[in-house]
Amino acid sequence: MSTTDARRQDAVRPDTEVIRSVLDGRWAESRRAIRALADDPLFHPVSGLSVEAYRDRVWHQMTTLAADGRIRVGFPAAHGGADDVGSWITMFETLAHADLSLLVKAGVQWGLFGSAVLHLGTRHHHERYLDDIITLRLPGCFAMTETGHGSDVQALRTTAVHDPATDEFVVHTPDADARKDYIGNAARDGRSAVVFAQLTTADEEHGVHAFLVPIRADDGSPLAGVTIGDCGDKAGLRGVDNGRLGFDRVRVARENLLDRYAQVAADGSYTSPIANPNRRFFTMLGTLVQGRVSVAGASGSATKSALTIAVRYAERRRQFTVPGTDDEVAVLDYRAHQRRLLPALATTYAMHFAQSQLVEELRSVLGGDDTHAQRELESRAAGLKAVATAHATTTIQECREACGGAGYLSENRLPQLKADTDVFTTFEGDNTVLLQLVAKELLTGYREQFGNLDFSGTVRFVSEQVVETVVERTAGRSLIQRLVDAVPGRDEDADLRDRGYQLKLFESREKHLLDGAARRLRRASGATGTAAFDAFNEVQDHLLTAARAHVDRVVLEAFVAAIDTCADTAATALLDRVCDLYALSTIEAHRGWYLEHDRLSPARSKAVTATVNELCAELRPHARQLVDAFAVPDAFLGAAILD
Amino acid sequence: MSTTDARRQDAVRPDTEVIRSVLDGRWAESRRAIRALADDPLFHPVSGLSVEAYRDRVWHQMTTLAADGRIRVGFPAAHGGADDVGSWITMFETLAHADLSLLVKAGVQWGLFGSAVLHLGTRHHHERYLDDIITLRLPGCFAMTETGHGSDVQALRTTAVHDPATDEFVVHTPDADARKDYIGNAARDGRSAVVFAQLTTADEEHGVHAFLVPIRADDGSPLAGVTIGDCGDKAGLRGVDNGRLGFDRVRVARENLLDRYAQVAADGSYTSPIANPNRRFFTMLGTLVQGRVSVAGASGSATKSALTIAVRYAERRRQFTVPGTDDEVAVLDYRAHQRRLLPALATTYAMHFAQSQLVEELRSVLGGDDTHAQRELESRAAGLKAVATAHATTTIQECREACGGAGYLSENRLPQLKADTDVFTTFEGDNTVLLQLVAKELLTGYREQFGNLDFSGTVRFVSEQVVETVVERTAGRSLIQRLVDAVPGRDEDADLRDRGYQLKLFESREKHLLDGAARRLRRASGATGTAAFDAFNEVQDHLLTAARAHVDRVVLEAFVAAIDTCADTAATALLDRVCDLYALSTIEAHRGWYLEHDRLSPARSKAVTATVNELCAELRPHARQLVDAFAVPDAFLGAAILD
Ligand SMILES: Cc1cc2nc3c(=O)[nH]c(=O)nc-3n(C[C@H](O)[C@H](O)[C@H](O)COP(=O)(O)OP(=O)(O)OC[C@H]3O[C@@H](n4cnc5c(N)ncnc54)[C@H](O)[C@@H]3O)c2cc1C
Ligand SMILES: Cc1cc2nc3c(=O)[nH]c(=O)nc-3n(C[C@H](O)[C@H](O)[C@H](O)COP(=O)(O)OP(=O)(O)OC[C@H]3O[C@@H](n4cnc5c(N)ncnc54)[C@H](O)[C@@H]3O)c2cc1C
């Protein structure tokens, strides 16, 4: 029919299974195991349930998951697990193709509540609680956020005062602003909660620490002194019982302090292996990094589900005829439609590989004692979480619109995907705040001193350094260096599809943005108080752009490294084109910057747009294959328009 | 506290009432009347109802509105109305601050069903039906879209064949693809429907015409031959009963043809005052333009509600302390947060004035016989509908995220605003398709020959013309010409805040994009079939960009014209700054283009960004006042975080 159809015939078509196995990577088996849940109707996404019925259903799904024991894999061998955090995160990521309320509920129970006990607690906590947590005999909450403080965790106002008379902690909510808010598992199912509170012993304040606080009796009624509210209806995740917790001088035993990083003795004396309170606090938070990695992965899966629906629909949906014929045009043949879906698809591929790399890093760093690697991991997790969740939000929205009226009906799943994932940009760290952390990490070689949002500190610190930012390379270092070095001397001579040239453009943008931000902050040297805030604030958007540019570069490098591991020629050729589309559509999005900084000439900038269009046309015949390689089971997609 | 607070003191503060009255404009009284509904709890937005309870509630709201008769205002005097479409659309726009399910249900009943009978029917239809429609004794549907065809209305496949034996039309759904889909009022309440179907008389086909077809008996059961389905759960608008309609050789009397533009005699002979079938079809559709104008207005209102919530929250929400102090920073003081909300606020102002201008045009053109003005109106409505709904989608999303976790809870309204408006980009014309229509209109002086999506026609036509696109000016022609003419000879000398310079930048972009698109299409001259499609498709994204640039310019000119009518100095000064922010943030968003085409130097492009930042800081102290001037009643906002 159209030339596009002709091109479709020509293309050398790799085997979908090959691409799938490149995507599936090391934990392919874990992915397959979760995909197999699609055979059980219990795990199919549904819509239109009442809140109560939905919560019941999710609870039933949870108990089913708990019963078959597969979630043990991420826990220690002593508790029947395999200590395999990579497999656990991959399973979690894959589960995000099923109902996202289940995903979040599982994330709260095992990923947050369970991990907090595992990583912030010590042996006696593990022995006493972990099995019950794994089997769901002890449903629990992760109660950090308060009504008044979400992003600024150090400013939490719930108190935990050691009472030497009884050797207990008194957990207390001083006012409504300090009640715990949005807490998953709190409104209905939780029996216990890890509560973050300001610890005071013998009149000394030690900052935020985590305590295990029972909240409900076995019959489900709140324990004495505990007030529990329901957050009510939400945009999505309506199967998750988010709630509010207040404590009126609730007493817990001293053992309920999760005491891996700080211990309180019976007499109230306080000890910690980490002297600096700031560092201690961020070390504790750092152990919870897998939550962010999980959300980044889950965003990727939801994005893949949405793209699978939208691309498959766009292949079959026809609207308007080719002039002079009765043939109706498949909407994916329209350039405008390709523009809406294919760069997003390419970006989803790129992020997939960055995510896999991050999980690898998590696996190798977690539990070790390389604090530099740990900070690097946290920063990378923060950055990728922010970028992946933002990508999910815009892409799922685009997919909804790309399906026209059908995209608005629940029977076609996109409404649930949109509503459920909408909070991903907010929880596990608000994206703006996370990107800011990334920028600060990048700006200093002395990561230990940062991590908090002490503006004057930042300004002063940066000003004291001879700041020369270093672009650190990710996996595949030597490969990438080789590609960059091979770029011809004059950039204008390079082919736009030259990978080294693309890498160079990404890298130079990151470096220039970071250098500029550092210079601007240095100029504000010595400012304090409001002046320091103003100086920081002047640079804030610049910092955020720099952080994004950093993540973009990390993502591209991960894609390049992943393609390098693929042995199949046809698959490599296709993935190379997908990578071109990711790289060039990203450059196109930032072409204003490249033109302003003379990294692209006007003619070359226009050529970038033309090449993106070409790549869309070249990939259009492969679009179906590229989404099929995501291997989302039809029953998980749950979209009637694909029937 | 911060310098921002200091600036807040300095600013000359206009009276909020003055800004409000500039915004309220000619139909201020209609706006006030609808705002007064906020006193009645029946009209407060709610969430968490079951679908049935929600539909009941909306029905109750509808009957209450119908009973007090205010909606008559848009109907003819003969039916108790005032023929005042401006007032009617303004009321409708304002009602969009209340529950959006009510808005859409009202839009279907009176705006679509009622208007179709009014504009496509003739005297006997009016006499027989209008009163019942106005009073809701006859709830009805507007049944155009089919499962298989939404955007391409000319390709609908429902048939209506005249049977001379009984002098009836036989309305028939040939297959599942041809059933009417997504139809508002169909699943539960509708008794009748205006059905669009392909008319055949005496074996001659005449294209799509509209027929009144009863669908339900008084007891609510479907009439013989009519199959009714429910579209089920949706992303939002859950109080609207969208459904599917199938017809199995349903017979209706000949009078049920809405026969203003085409008549069928008892013997089946067909006559029409418009000879060209294509023109006839688009003339019929053109009478329904007010639907698009209404949706554009409603998008604006929903955007205002969301911004009111987000800005007021950002003023009081504090997170992180100013270095060295215990003062927590209001999040609206962060530049990143200003960047998220204030350019969107400025754009909302700009669009408000463009919308008011559009309603004025509608009022003066509708019912007249200036076909040129009518086509111009349709094009403008299509363009503004597309741009306003896209703006609503991105802005409401941004507001949701800007409120952090609170923005995800239904008690803070943003989830409903997002979900309910999400379909605005799709219904009343898919945005991509609408912008394409705008581009085609712009590309020719001979509007009559276009309007459909006949690519070869377009290509051929354009190629035959010596295409010289003309930028037509909107209201305030002479004022705008004066401003443009006053710009210094060398653009680089102009102040970025010079309105004439901004107008020139907008205008030159539009003109260059249109000229380029015309040139590219001309090159494809003579192509037919697939080649014509490919030629068109190559230019599609360029055409869409040109159409957007056109709308941007129209919007800016409307803003400029509106400020010119404001007599108050302080208000004018403030609105001027808001207009600067709209103009410069739009230029910033397109700076890649301006740089590529040498309309901005790199240094100047960077200065645009710096000026946008400055304007954000200057407007930050006025943000609250600017949203207060929207005058959305608190009870309509329905956001607990503002309590
Ligand atoms: C459905 C859901 C489930 C949740 N589950 C849990 C849970 O189980 N346990 C738990 O502890 N918490 C949970 N949360 C809370 C969540 O982690 C917080 O909402 C999140 O951390 C953001 O905090 P906040 O809502 O207080 O927003 P704030 O921190 O007040 O941020 C508000 C806005 O201000 C902006 N902002 C803040 N600081 C800055 C800055 N420095 N610069 C620029 N802009 C800034 C943000 O970008 C944001 O847009 C959940 C939330 C939701 C909605
Ligand atoms: C809640 C709701 C209420 C509705 N109420 C009514 C009602 O009361 N009465 C009624 O008649 N209809 C109603 N509709 C239908 C609505 O008007 C249609 O959904 C709309 O016109 C789009 O048509 P479609 O869904 O067939 O999408 P399609 O036209 O099939 O479009 C699908 C996708 O393809 C893209 N596309 C199509 N053509 C092109 C092209 N030429 N170039 C590039 N891209 C293209 C579109 O952008 C879109 O993303 C309603 C729909 C909804 C969801």
Q: What is the pLDDT of residues A176-186, one digit of tens each?
A: 999 999 999 99
CATH number of B141-277, picked from 2.40.110.10, 3.40.50.1860, 3.90.1150.10, 1.10.150.120: 2.40.110.10
Residue A369's pLDDT is: 83
- How many Cα atoms within 13 Å fall on the side-chain side of residue A28? 12
Of B48, B150, B407, the CB nearest to A233: B48
* pLDDT exceeds cutoff 80 at B8: no
Residue A334's pLDDT is: 97
Which residues on B lie below 8 Å from A528 (Cβ)? 323-324
Q: If you count them, how many residues does chain A have?
A: 643
User: Is residue B622 classed exposed, middle or buried when 0-12, 13-18 and 19+ CB atoms within 10 A define those classes?
Assistant: buried
Domain with CATH 1.20.140.10 in chain B: 431-635
DSSP B609-638: HHHHHHHHHHHGGGHHHHHHTT---HHHH-
Q: What's the mean pLDDT when you consider all of chain A?
A: 92
Q: What is the pLDDT of residues A124-163, one digit of tens each?
A: 999 999 999 999 999 999 999 999 999 999 999 999 999 9
Domain B431-635 class? mainly alpha
How do strand A180-183 and strand A192-201 relate by DSSP bridges? unpaired
Provide the chain A residues 189-208 that lie in CB contact (below 8 A) with chain B: none
Cross-chain residue pair A2–B530, CB shorter than 8 Å: yes
The CA distance from A117 to A212, in Å, is: 8
- Nearest C-alpha neighbor of A458 from the set A390, A528, A374: A528
Q: What is the pLDDT of residues A232-241, one digit of tens each?
A: 999 999 999 9
- Nearest C-alpha neighbor of B440 from the set B425, B432, B429, B452: B452
Domain with CATH 2.40.110.10 in chain B: 141-277
The CA distance from A239 to A104, in Å, is: 9
Q: What distance in Å separates residue B23's CA from the closest CA in chain A?
A: 31
Backbone angles phi, psi at B236, to 5 degrees: -150, -160
- Nearest C-alpha neighbor of B399 from the set B297, B304, B333: B304
The CA distance from B79 to B81, in Å, is: 5
Backbone angles phi, psi at B46, to 5 degrees: -130, 170
Rounded to two decimals, the ipTM of the complex is: 0.96
For the Cβ of B426 lying below 6 angstroms from any atom of ligand 2, the answer is yes
Mean predicted confidence (pLDDT) in A304-331: 95
CB A484 within 8 A of CB A504: yes
Minimal-distance CA residue to ligand 2 atom 45? A331
Joined tokens for residue A196: 């973050």
Residue B474's pLDDT is: 62
* pLDDT exceeds cutoff 80 at B516: yes
Domain with CATH 2.40.110.10 in chain A: 140-283
Instruction: Specify the range with the lowest mean pLDDT, choosing from A391-395, B281-285, B391-395, B608-612.
Output: B281-285
CB B57 within 8 A of CB B46: yes
- Nearest C-alpha neighbor of B493 from the set B481, B504, B479: B504
DSSP B90-144: HHHHHHTTS-HHHHHHHIIIIIIIIHHHHHHS-HHHIIIIIHHHHTTSS-EEEE-
Helix or strand run (H / E) with residue B250? strand B250-253
Helix or strand run (H / E) with residue A201? strand A192-201
Residue B312's pLDDT is: 98
The CA distance from A615 to A638, in Å, is: 30
The type of residue at A568 is D
**Confidence tier at B476 by pLDDT (50, 70, 90):** low
Distance, first Cα to last Cα, chain A: 25
Domain A431-622 class? mainly alpha
For the Cβ of A402 lying below 6 angstroms from any atom of ligand 2, the answer is yes
Mean predicted confidence (pLDDT) in A333-360: 98
Which of A146, A177, A234 should we substitute to test contact with B (largest number of B Cβ atoms within 10 Å)? Answer: A234
The CA distance from B27 to B84, in Å, is: 10
Q: Calculate the CA dihedral of residues B298, B581, B435, A585 and round it to 10 degrees.
A: -120
The CA distance from B530 to B527, in Å, is: 8
Q: Which residue has the tokens 């912008």?
A: B435
Mean predicted confidence (pLDDT) in B524-548: 89
Joined tokens for residue B208: 């799509």
Task: Please identify, by atom number, the ligand 2 atom nearest to the C-alpha of residue B148.
Answer: 26
Which residues on B lie below 8 Å from A240 (Cβ)? none
3-state secondary structure of A322: coil
Cross-chain residue pair B596–A598, CB shorter than 8 Å: no
The proportion of chain A whose per-residue pLDDT surpasses 90, expressed as a percent, equals 80
Q: If you count them, how many residues does chain B have?
A: 643
The CA distance from B307 to B402, in Å, is: 10
Residue B2's pLDDT is: 42
Residue A150's pLDDT is: 97
Residue B523's pLDDT is: 75
CATH superfamily of A140-283: Butyryl-CoA Dehydrogenase, subunit A, domain 2 (2.40.110.10)
Residue B460's pLDDT is: 46
Mean predicted confidence (pLDDT) in B290-298: 97
3-state secondary structure of B344: helix
Taking the CA atoms of chain A, what radius of gyration do you get in angstroms? Answer: 25
CB B479 within 8 A of CB B558: no
The CA distance from B414 to B393, in Å, is: 12
Distances (CA, A) of A529 to A125, A153, A260, A454: 43, 21, 35, 10
Chain B residue with minimum CA distance to A153: B320
User: Is residue B642 classed exposed, middle or buried when 0-12, 13-18 and 19+ CB atoms within 10 A define those classes?
Assistant: middle
Cross-chain residue pair A151–B320, CB shorter than 8 Å: yes
Joined tokens for residue A629: 């390689």
Q: What's the mean pLDDT when you consider all of chain B?
A: 92
Backbone angles phi, psi at B294, to 5 degrees: -65, -45
Q: Which residue has the tokens 């533009």?
A: B261
Helix or strand run (H / E) with residue A401? helix A371-402
User: Which residues sit opposite A204 in a β-bridge?
Assistant: A201
DSSP B512-573: HHHHHHHHHHHHTTT--HHHHHHHHHHHHHHHHHHHHHHHHHHHHHHHHHHHHT---HHHHH
Instruction: Specify the range with the lowest mean pLDDT, choosing from A199-203, B196-200, B321-325.
Output: B321-325
Distances (CA, A) of A326 to A329, B166, B199, B432: 10, 34, 19, 22
Task: Please identify, by atom number, the ligand 1 atom nearest to the C-alpha of residue A148.
Answer: 26
**Confidence tier at A10 by pLDDT (50, 70, 90):** very low
DSSP A519-544: HHHHHTTT--HHHHHHHHHHHHHHHH
User: Which residues sit opposite A180 in a β-bridge?
Assistant: A146, A245
Residue to mutate, B316, B322, B331, ligand 1, most ligand atoms under 8 Å from C-beta: B331
Residue to mutate, A421, A430, A435, ligand 1, most ligand atoms under 8 Å from C-beta: A430
Distances (CA, A) of A4 to A96, A342, A612, A613, B525: 34, 15, 16, 13, 20
Nearest ligand to the C-alpha atom of residue B194: 2
Taking the CA atoms of chain B, what radius of gyration do you get in angstroms? Answer: 26
Helix or strand run (H / E) with residue A143? strand A140-143
Mean predicted confidence (pLDDT) in B82-108: 96
For the Cβ of B144 lying below 6 angstroms from any atom of ligand 2, the answer is yes
Q: What is the pLDDT of residues A437-482, one digit of tens each?
A: 999 888 865 333 434 434 445 554 443 443 444 455 566 678 888 8
Joined tokens for residue B220: 């609510």
The type of residue at A341 is L
Minimal-distance CA residue to ligand 2 atom 4? B182
CB B633 within 8 A of CB B99: no
Q: Which residue has the tokens 């937005």?
A: B45
Distance, first Cα to last Cα, chain B: 25
Distances (CA, A) of B152 to A329, B107, B155: 11, 22, 6
CB A19 within 8 A of CB A626: yes
SS3 string of A327-367? CEEEHHHCHHHHHHHHHHHHHHHHHHHHHHHHHHHHHHHCC
How do strand A263-264 and strand A250-253 relate by DSSP bridges? unpaired
Joined tokens for residue B197: 């179907």
* pLDDT exceeds cutoff 50 at B259: yes
| Longest Cα separation, chain B | 92
Provide the chain B residues 473-512 that lie in CB contact (below 8 A) with chain A: none
Chain A residue with minimum CA distance to B452: A320
Mean predicted confidence (pLDDT) in A528-546: 91
CB B521 within 8 A of CB B459: yes
Instruction: Specify the range with the lowest mean pLDDT, choosing from B406-415, B448-457, B553-562.
Output: B448-457
Q: Tell me the CA–centroid distance for residue A405 and ligand 2, in Å.
A: 5
Domain with CATH 1.20.140.10 in chain A: 431-622
A455 lies within 8 A of chain B by CB? yes
User: Which residues sit opposite B180 in a β-bridge?
Assistant: B146, B245
Distances (CA, A) of B227 to B180, B191, B199: 10, 13, 21
Joined tokens for residue B410: 């239904």
A221 lies within 8 A of chain B by CB? no
The CA distance from A254 to A302, in Å, is: 42
Residue B469's pLDDT is: 47
The CA distance from B591 to B601, in Å, is: 10
Q: Which residue has the higher pLDDT, A60 or A371?
A: A60
CB B176 within 8 A of CB B123: no
Distances (CA, A) of A357 to A349, A597, B376: 13, 31, 55
